[in-house]
Amino acid sequence: MTDRTEPRAETSQATSGLTKSPAEKQEAPASPVTLSTKAKLMGFSEKWATLLGFAAIVAYFWIAAPATFGTIGNFKAILDQAAVTVILAVGLTAVLAVAEFDLSFPYVLGFSSAVATLSMTDLHWPTWAAIGLGIVVAVGANAITGFVVAQQRVSSFVVTLGFGFVWLGIADGMTSSRVISQGMNGSFTNLILYRPLGFTLATWVALVFAVLIGILFRWTVAGRNIMAVGSNPSASRLAGLPLSRIRIFAYVLLGLAVGVAAIVITSRQAQYTPGVGDGLFLSPYVAAFFGMSVLGVRRFNVLGTVVGALFMGTLQTGLVVIGAASWLYEVIQGAALLIILLIARRAT
């Protein structure tokens, strides 16, 4: 019986194979070689696309204006131009890493600048004390903001927006919304004249700040906790991590960055200007989100943020060098943020 039925089964299978419809024949799985090639191309583009784009922009500006853009002096100018963005973006990276946002930091910057200026013009404090007070005020303001956000009862968007107007109002009340330049310490306004090894002091401050925060994120428990909270808040809570304190600490780091940036800008301008933080909101966010796509890490990191800030500085300087309209930078900046967010969303 077995010997007679087996040929029939084989014949039936062969017959069914011959009678397959054209549609069934087209359902054959894709070749493993094809899938592997596609995956490699996707991985390569995800890892190197932003850096290649950065290189392409540098090459374009260099070719368009070789005598102006492709010089050591212009390279140093780009680093100096990007210094404030680097400082703010690195500080903002800490807040974004814990899955929060901050809309108030430009106003905190103005508040810090006002306090540092008035401590010199009205209180006649020495430069080092004025700098210290300005930074402490920024750290304290962001610590308060972080404490309220850490309660997790109201969105960080709403909390930081509200606090932003609080700090703006206080700064305007202290300065009567006027430009203040008379009475500032000469040693403070002359800080921009120092150029160790040919680079501005702002460039060195940005470098040191980025390195220190990078070390904090990479090799300290506090930094690793910040990264853990942002990547998986539920697991961090179950592991017993103090989420509220970690979030407050992230806002404190941003406050430190804002205070340092306020001192750099005020020293550059040699005066306090109402709305000094205007125009500083979007660039740090673009730099931080740009950093997520650098080398395809898919998370906020200091190295990527610095690269993003340098990208924005290069773009801004290059557009000025080739004589492009001033509004074009804002358009490209906003479009870049949208594209980066869309790519990040698709990747996840």
pLDDT at position 259 over 70: yes
Q: What would the mean pLDDT of 72-84 be, rounded to a whole number? A: 93
pLDDT band of residue 42 (cuts 50, 70, 90) is: low
pLDDT at position 310 over 90: yes
pLDDT digits (tens, 9 = 90+) for 268-296: 999 999 999 988 988 999 899 888 877 65
Largest Cα–Cα distance of the chain, in whole Å? Answer: 111
Residue 285: name the closest of 309, 317, 253 by CA: 309
pLDDT digits (tens, 9 = 90+) for 107-147: 999 999 999 999 999 999 999 999 999 999 999 999 999 99
Q: What is the mean pLDDT of the chain?
A: 85
Task: Kindly state the DSSP code that residue 31 receives in the 8-state scheme.
Answer: P
Domains assigned to the chain = 50-347 (1.10.3470)
The C-alpha atoms of residue 91 and residue 302 are separated, in whole angstroms, by 9
pTM of the model: 0.84
DSSP class per residue in 59-120: HHHHHHSTTTTSSHHHHHHHHHHHHHHHHHHHHHHHHHHTT---S-HHHHHHHHHHHHHHHH
Residue 263: name the closest of 139, 134, 164 by CA: 134
46 CB burial (10 A radius; 0-12, 13-18, 19+): middle
